[in-house]
């Protein structure tokens, strides 16, 4: 069965420092991977996705993510964190070979990013 793990409930970084939010996945076939961000009392906003090709994916607001097939990981990164990046981050996967009827995403439980000034 498909699954996504976000091993850290919370990540704390200082403004200006690089940040990494970790995600590992488990699928039976080739994964399609997504990152979303959720601000308080708002819906999920799309950041980036990996479909195929270059393992380094660039997304919105200066975020990027690196796909690593051997480690089944898709970590979210940003070279220099901003206080405004503080939010809840979700990793999600879609597996074409899962046999599921639809194209719904399977989400991790989320990681709270806190950036201090």
Answer yes or no whether residue 60 interacts with another protein by CB under 8 A.
Answer: no
Q: Which is nearer to another protein, 22 or 107 (CB)?
A: 107
Choice from 11, 19, 33, 34 touching another protein (CB under 8 A): 34
- Cβ atoms of residues 89 and 8 within 8 Å: no
Residue 109 three-state SS: coil
Instruction: Point out which span in 17-25, 63-71, 75-83, 95-103 binds another protein (CB under 8 A).
Output: 95-103
Task: Classify burial at 90, counting beta carbons within 10 Å of its beta carbon; exposed 0-12, middle 13-18, buried 19 or more.
Answer: buried
Site string for another protein, 72-91 (x = CB under 8 A): ------------------x-
Choice from 68, 109, 114, 116 touching another protein (CB under 8 A): 109
Q: Which is nearer to another protein, 81 or 106 (CB)?
A: 106
Q: Which two tokens stand for residue 40?
A: 């308080």
Size of the site for another protein (CB under 8 A): 26
The alpha carbon of 116 is separated from its chain's Cα centroid by a whole number of angstroms, namely 21
- Cβ atoms of residues 113 and 19 within 8 Å: yes
């Amino acid at each position: 069965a498909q699954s996504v793990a976000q091993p850290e409930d919370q990540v704390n970084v200082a403004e200006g420092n690089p940040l990494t939010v970790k995600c590992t996945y488990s699928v039976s076939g080739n994964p399609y991977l997504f990152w979303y961000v959720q601000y308080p009392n708002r819906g999920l906003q799309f950041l980036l996705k990996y479909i195929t090709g270059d393992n380094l994916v660039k997304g919105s607001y200066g975020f990027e993510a690196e796909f690593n097939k051997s480690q089944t990981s898709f970590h979210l990164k940003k070279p220099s964190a901003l206080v405004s990046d503080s939010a809840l981050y979700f990793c999600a996967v879609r597996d074409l070979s899962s046999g599921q009827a639809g194209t719904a995403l399977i989400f991790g439980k989320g990681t709270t990013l806190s950036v201090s000034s």
